[in-house]
Amino acid sequence: MIVSRDHIFKEGELKDKVILVTGANRGFGLAITMGLSKAGATVIMLGRDLGSLEHAYDAVVDAGYKEPILYPLDLEGATPENYQDLQDNVLEKFDKLDGLIHNAAILGAQMPIEQYDIKLWYSTLQINLSAPFMLTQFLIPALLKSDDARILFLSSSVGREARAYWGAYSVSKFGIEGFAKTLSEELEKTKISVNTVNPGKLRTEMRRTAYPAEDSSTVPLPEHKSSAIVYLLSSMSPKMNGEQLTIAD
Protein backbone atom coordinates (compact mmCIF):
# COMPACT_ATOMS: atom_id res chain seq x y z
CA MET A 1 0.00 0.00 0.00
CA ILE A 2 1.35 3.44 -0.96
CA VAL A 3 1.29 6.17 1.70
CA SER A 4 1.27 9.78 0.53
CA ARG A 5 3.96 12.04 1.93
CA ASP A 6 1.68 15.09 2.07
CA HIS A 7 -0.38 15.44 5.21
CA ILE A 8 -1.67 18.37 7.22
CA PHE A 9 -1.94 17.86 10.95
CA LYS A 10 -3.99 19.79 13.46
CA GLU A 11 -1.98 21.33 16.30
CA GLY A 12 -1.17 18.78 18.97
CA GLU A 13 -2.20 15.84 16.77
CA LEU A 14 0.03 13.53 18.83
CA LYS A 15 -0.33 15.30 22.19
CA ASP A 16 0.09 12.90 25.14
CA LYS A 17 1.63 10.23 22.88
CA VAL A 18 4.97 8.67 23.85
CA ILE A 19 6.91 7.25 20.92
CA LEU A 20 10.36 5.62 20.83
CA VAL A 21 12.47 6.10 17.69
CA THR A 22 15.74 4.22 17.15
CA GLY A 23 18.60 5.91 15.30
CA ALA A 24 16.97 9.23 16.17
CA ASN A 25 20.18 11.27 16.10
CA ARG A 26 20.45 11.77 12.32
CA GLY A 27 19.11 10.78 8.91
CA PHE A 28 15.48 9.70 8.65
CA GLY A 29 15.34 9.01 12.40
CA LEU A 30 15.98 12.68 13.17
CA ALA A 31 13.47 13.84 10.55
CA ILE A 32 10.87 11.48 12.06
CA THR A 33 11.70 12.77 15.55
CA MET A 34 11.25 16.38 14.41
CA GLY A 35 7.90 15.55 12.80
CA LEU A 36 6.56 13.64 15.80
CA SER A 37 7.77 16.29 18.28
CA LYS A 38 6.22 19.05 16.17
CA ALA A 39 2.93 17.14 16.37
CA GLY A 40 3.21 17.18 20.17
CA ALA A 41 4.51 13.68 20.92
CA THR A 42 7.17 13.01 23.53
CA VAL A 43 9.85 11.18 21.58
CA ILE A 44 12.27 8.84 23.31
CA MET A 45 15.31 9.31 21.08
CA LEU A 46 17.43 6.17 21.10
CA GLY A 47 20.93 6.33 19.61
CA ARG A 48 24.36 4.96 20.27
CA ASP A 49 26.25 8.23 20.68
CA LEU A 50 25.24 10.66 23.43
CA GLY A 51 27.02 13.66 21.86
CA SER A 52 25.20 13.17 18.58
CA LEU A 53 21.89 12.66 20.42
CA GLU A 54 22.42 15.91 22.34
CA HIS A 55 23.05 17.76 19.10
CA ALA A 56 19.79 16.36 17.69
CA TYR A 57 17.95 17.23 20.94
CA ASP A 58 19.04 20.87 20.51
CA ALA A 59 17.60 20.89 16.99
CA VAL A 60 14.20 19.72 18.29
CA VAL A 61 14.11 22.14 21.23
CA ASP A 62 15.43 25.10 19.19
CA ALA A 63 12.59 24.54 16.71
CA GLY A 64 10.16 24.99 19.61
CA TYR A 65 8.82 21.42 19.47
CA LYS A 66 7.95 19.07 22.37
CA GLU A 67 11.05 18.32 24.42
CA PRO A 68 12.29 14.78 23.74
CA ILE A 69 13.98 12.28 26.05
CA LEU A 70 17.44 10.96 25.21
CA TYR A 71 18.22 7.27 25.56
CA PRO A 72 21.79 6.27 24.63
CA LEU A 73 22.06 2.59 23.71
CA ASP A 74 24.27 0.79 21.21
CA LEU A 75 21.99 -1.73 19.49
CA GLU A 76 24.95 -3.86 18.50
CA GLY A 77 26.12 -4.58 22.05
CA ALA A 78 22.89 -4.14 24.03
CA THR A 79 22.08 -7.00 26.39
CA PRO A 80 18.73 -8.26 27.75
CA GLU A 81 19.59 -6.39 30.98
CA ASN A 82 19.89 -3.13 29.01
CA TYR A 83 16.47 -3.74 27.43
CA GLN A 84 15.01 -4.56 30.86
CA ASP A 85 16.33 -1.21 32.15
CA LEU A 86 14.69 0.52 29.19
CA GLN A 87 11.37 -1.20 29.93
CA ASP A 88 11.61 -0.22 33.60
CA ASN A 89 12.42 3.40 32.70
CA VAL A 90 9.55 3.70 30.21
CA LEU A 91 7.01 2.18 32.60
CA GLU A 92 8.23 4.24 35.55
CA LYS A 93 8.26 7.55 33.69
CA PHE A 94 5.27 7.20 31.33
CA ASP A 95 3.41 4.02 32.37
CA LYS A 96 2.80 3.30 28.64
CA LEU A 97 4.25 3.52 25.15
CA ASP A 98 2.14 4.54 22.12
CA GLY A 99 4.61 3.99 19.33
CA LEU A 100 7.82 2.15 18.51
CA ILE A 101 9.68 3.02 15.32
CA HIS A 102 12.49 0.66 14.38
CA ASN A 103 14.54 2.97 12.18
CA ALA A 104 18.22 2.35 13.06
CA ALA A 105 20.09 0.18 10.60
CA ILE A 106 23.46 -0.25 8.93
CA LEU A 107 24.09 -0.97 5.27
CA GLY A 108 26.76 -3.61 5.75
CA ALA A 109 28.73 -4.26 2.58
CA GLN A 110 27.58 -4.44 -1.01
CA MET A 111 29.40 -7.49 -2.31
CA PRO A 112 28.81 -11.11 -3.35
CA ILE A 113 27.77 -13.50 -0.57
CA GLU A 114 30.77 -15.60 -1.60
CA GLN A 115 33.12 -12.87 -0.31
CA TYR A 116 30.96 -11.35 2.43
CA ASP A 117 32.88 -10.46 5.58
CA ILE A 118 31.58 -12.78 8.32
CA LYS A 119 31.96 -10.32 11.21
CA LEU A 120 30.08 -7.64 9.25
CA TRP A 121 27.34 -10.17 8.48
CA TYR A 122 26.82 -10.77 12.21
CA SER A 123 26.89 -7.03 13.04
CA THR A 124 24.35 -6.21 10.35
CA LEU A 125 21.96 -8.96 11.43
CA GLN A 126 22.42 -7.93 15.08
CA ILE A 127 21.64 -4.23 14.56
CA ASN A 128 19.00 -4.57 11.84
CA LEU A 129 17.12 -7.69 12.99
CA SER A 130 18.02 -9.14 16.40
CA ALA A 131 18.02 -5.77 18.21
CA PRO A 132 14.50 -4.91 16.90
CA PHE A 133 13.36 -8.35 18.14
CA MET A 134 14.71 -7.75 21.66
CA LEU A 135 13.56 -4.14 21.80
CA THR A 136 10.05 -5.19 20.75
CA GLN A 137 9.93 -8.08 23.21
CA PHE A 138 10.87 -5.86 26.14
CA LEU A 139 8.56 -3.00 25.15
CA ILE A 140 5.39 -5.02 24.49
CA PRO A 141 4.30 -4.65 28.17
CA ALA A 142 4.44 -0.84 27.84
CA LEU A 143 2.76 -0.89 24.41
CA LEU A 144 -0.08 -3.02 25.80
CA LYS A 145 -0.85 -0.18 28.22
CA SER A 146 -1.67 2.21 25.37
CA ASP A 147 -5.20 2.53 23.93
CA ASP A 148 -3.75 2.61 20.41
CA ALA A 149 -0.13 1.44 20.05
CA ARG A 150 1.62 1.31 16.71
CA ILE A 151 4.87 -0.47 15.82
CA LEU A 152 6.57 0.45 12.54
CA PHE A 153 9.59 -1.33 11.12
CA LEU A 154 11.60 0.55 8.48
CA SER A 155 12.08 -1.83 5.59
CA SER A 156 13.46 -1.49 2.08
CA SER A 157 12.73 -2.52 -1.50
CA VAL A 158 15.54 -5.10 -1.10
CA GLY A 159 13.66 -6.58 1.86
CA ARG A 160 10.74 -7.37 -0.44
CA GLU A 161 12.49 -8.30 -3.67
CA ALA A 162 15.97 -9.83 -3.85
CA ARG A 163 18.81 -7.93 -5.49
CA ALA A 164 22.33 -9.27 -5.97
CA TYR A 165 25.14 -7.91 -3.78
CA TRP A 166 22.92 -6.40 -1.08
CA GLY A 167 24.01 -9.20 1.29
CA ALA A 168 23.21 -9.03 5.00
CA TYR A 169 21.28 -5.75 4.68
CA SER A 170 18.80 -7.31 2.27
CA VAL A 171 18.56 -10.49 4.35
CA SER A 172 17.97 -8.45 7.52
CA LYS A 173 15.13 -6.52 5.87
CA PHE A 174 13.54 -9.76 4.56
CA GLY A 175 13.86 -10.94 8.19
CA ILE A 176 12.16 -7.77 9.45
CA GLU A 177 9.28 -8.32 7.04
CA GLY A 178 8.84 -11.89 8.34
CA PHE A 179 9.21 -10.84 11.95
CA ALA A 180 6.63 -8.07 11.58
CA LYS A 181 4.16 -10.40 9.90
CA THR A 182 4.52 -13.03 12.63
CA LEU A 183 4.18 -10.41 15.36
CA SER A 184 1.14 -8.83 13.70
CA GLU A 185 -0.62 -12.22 13.77
CA GLU A 186 0.29 -12.78 17.42
CA LEU A 187 -0.94 -9.31 18.47
CA GLU A 188 -4.00 -9.32 16.22
CA LYS A 189 -6.48 -9.25 19.11
CA THR A 190 -4.64 -6.54 21.04
CA LYS A 191 -4.55 -2.76 20.62
CA ILE A 192 -1.04 -2.98 19.12
CA SER A 193 -0.77 -2.78 15.34
CA VAL A 194 2.39 -3.84 13.50
CA ASN A 195 3.39 -2.78 9.98
CA THR A 196 6.50 -2.35 7.84
CA VAL A 197 7.24 0.75 5.81
CA ASN A 198 9.63 1.15 2.90
CA PRO A 199 10.52 4.85 2.90
CA GLY A 200 11.79 4.77 -0.69
CA LYS A 201 14.72 7.03 -1.57
CA LEU A 202 15.99 9.33 1.18
CA ARG A 203 18.86 11.80 0.93
CA THR A 204 20.89 10.42 3.86
CA GLU A 205 24.34 9.02 4.54
CA MET A 206 23.10 5.47 3.89
CA ARG A 207 21.83 6.40 0.43
CA ARG A 208 25.06 8.27 -0.41
CA THR A 209 27.10 5.21 0.57
CA ALA A 210 24.88 2.83 -1.42
CA TYR A 211 24.72 5.04 -4.54
CA PRO A 212 27.91 7.17 -4.58
CA ALA A 213 27.50 8.19 -8.24
CA GLU A 214 23.90 9.38 -7.84
CA ASP A 215 23.04 13.08 -8.13
CA SER A 216 21.79 13.59 -4.59
CA SER A 217 19.76 16.66 -5.56
CA THR A 218 17.31 14.26 -7.26
CA VAL A 219 16.73 12.33 -4.01
CA PRO A 220 13.99 13.49 -1.57
CA LEU A 221 15.15 14.98 1.72
CA PRO A 222 14.18 12.89 4.77
CA GLU A 223 12.11 15.79 6.15
CA HIS A 224 9.97 15.66 3.00
CA LYS A 225 8.88 12.12 3.86
CA SER A 226 8.62 12.19 7.65
CA SER A 227 5.02 13.43 7.65
CA ALA A 228 4.03 10.00 6.26
CA ILE A 229 5.39 8.45 9.46
CA VAL A 230 3.61 11.03 11.65
CA TYR A 231 0.41 10.17 9.76
CA LEU A 232 0.93 6.44 10.36
CA LEU A 233 1.40 7.07 14.09
CA SER A 234 -1.71 9.26 14.35
CA SER A 235 -5.39 8.38 14.51
CA MET A 236 -5.76 10.13 11.11
CA SER A 237 -4.56 6.89 9.50
CA PRO A 238 -6.89 3.89 9.61
CA LYS A 239 -5.89 1.06 11.89
CA MET A 240 -3.86 -1.40 9.78
CA ASN A 241 -2.08 -4.57 10.83
CA GLY A 242 0.41 -6.80 9.01
CA GLU A 243 0.67 -4.43 6.02
CA GLN A 244 3.67 -3.71 3.81
CA LEU A 245 3.57 0.06 3.31
CA THR A 246 5.64 2.25 0.97
CA ILE A 247 6.04 6.03 1.15
CA ALA A 248 5.45 7.71 -2.21
CA ASP A 249 8.51 9.36 -3.81
**Binders of ligand NAP in range 141-170 (CB under 6 A):** 154, 156
Q: Is the dihedral of CA 121, 126, 127, 130 positive or negative?
A: positive
Binds ligand NAP (CB under 6 A): choice among 13, 29, 65, 68: 29
Length of the chain as a residue count: 249
Q: CB under 8 Å to 225, separation ≥6 — which residues?
A: 5, 28, 31, 199, 200, 202, 247
Torsion angles phi and psi, residue 40, rounded to 5: 100, 0
The residue among 5 and 48 lying less far from ligand NAP, judged by its C-beta, is 48
Binds ligand NAP (CB under 6 A): choice among 14, 43, 60, 104: 104
Cross-strand partners of 19: 43, 99
8 Å CB contact between 120 and 69: no
Contact between 105 and ligand NAP per CB under 6 A? yes
CB of 16 to ligand NAP, least distance (A): 26
Binds ligand NAP (CB under 6 A): choice among 14, 20, 25, 45: 25
Find, among 240, 130, 120, 116, the residue nearest to 175 by Cα. Answer: 130
Q: Which stretch binds ligand NAP (CB under 6 A): 3-11, 27-35, 114-122, 179-187?
A: 27-35
Cross-strand partners of 3: 247
Q: Which stretch binds ligand NAP (CB under 6 A): 12-20, 69-77, 139-147, 235-243?
A: 69-77
Binds ligand NAP (CB under 6 A): choice among 18, 39, 86, 127: 127
Active-site hit among 57, 65, 83, 169: 169
116 tagged catalytic: no
C-alpha 43/C-alpha 35 separation (Å) is 10
Binds ligand NAP (CB under 6 A): choice among 204, 226, 227, 241: 204
8 Å CB contact between 230 and 39: yes
CB of 110 to ligand NAP, least distance (A): 13
Binds ligand NAP (CB under 6 A): choice among 67, 185, 186, 205: 205
C-alpha 166/C-alpha 124 separation (Å) is 12
Contacts with ligand NAP by CB under 6 A lie at 23, 25-29, 47-49, 52, 74-76, 103-106, 127, 154, 156, 199, 201-202, 204-207
List, by residue number, the catalytic residues: 169
